[in-house]
Amino acid sequence: MVGPAAVKCQLTLSPATQDVGASATQFTVAVAAGRECAWTSRSDAAWTQAAPASGQGDGTLTLNVASNTQQSARTANVVVNDTALRITQAAAPAPCTYSISPGSRSFADSGGNGSFTLQTGSSCSWTSSVSVSWITVLSAPSGTGPATFTYLVARNQGKPDRSGTITVAGRTHTVTQDGR
């Protein structure tokens, strides 16, 4: 008995390449092969797993790709018999950093309007809070990316100077105000 001819057992993968984001993901790949052709699958990288490990004829592979926590892209090959599927995974986004400018502002007892800017990456989220009732933030209490914050400082009716803070993403803008 003679096995199937090599030409009959050639297979194709669709897609033959796959680009994925940095987050964990799962996708399927179609295996096209003659019904008498057995095949096995394996990955050359631990962060990519293919299932099932073997099959015969046409089939579907499910590929599980783990999150990429590194800040560089990576590639892996899933090989089915002698045919490779190349997976390219995007780098993890840079960690979010935040800074506020200016870090403080002083007001006379009459109060007034103030503002400051938050510098951060476009995909970095933030929330804001105010420590005292005499400062009213006119900007959104949460958002994503760089922002300009505007606020209103009420008149200080008391004699002592006072201070309060506006905190955004763990960074503080300090407001001081003279007493009457």
26 and 77 fall within a common domain:
yes
pLDDT of residue 97: 95
What's the rounded Cα separation, in Å, for the pair 40 and 62?
A: 13
Mean pLDDT for back-to-back runs of 10 residues, the chain (180 residues): 58 95 96 94 96 95 96 95 95 92 97 97 94 95 96 94 97 95
The separation between CA 77 and the C-alpha centre of its own chain, rounded to angstroms, equals 24
77 and 137 fall within a common domain:
no
Among 66, 89, 112, the domain boundary falls at 89
85 and 104 fall within a common domain:
no
DSSP reduced 3-state for 107:
strand
28 and 66 fall within a common domain:
yes
What's the rounded Cα separation, in Å, for the pair 116 and 88?
A: 41
What's the rounded Cα separation, in Å, for the pair 66 and 26?
A: 9
Q: Which domain holds residue 147?
A: 99-177
The CATH number for 57's domain is 2.60.40.10
* Cβ atoms 121, 100 nearer than 8 A: no
109 and 68 fall within a common domain:
no
Q: Is residue 4 part of a domain?
A: no
pLDDT of residue 93: 85
Count the residues in the chain.
Answer: 180
pLDDT of residue 4: 52
16 and 85 fall within a common domain:
yes
73 and 106 fall within a common domain:
no
What digits encode the pLDDT tens for the residues 42-77? 999 999 999 999 999 999 999 999 999 998 999 999
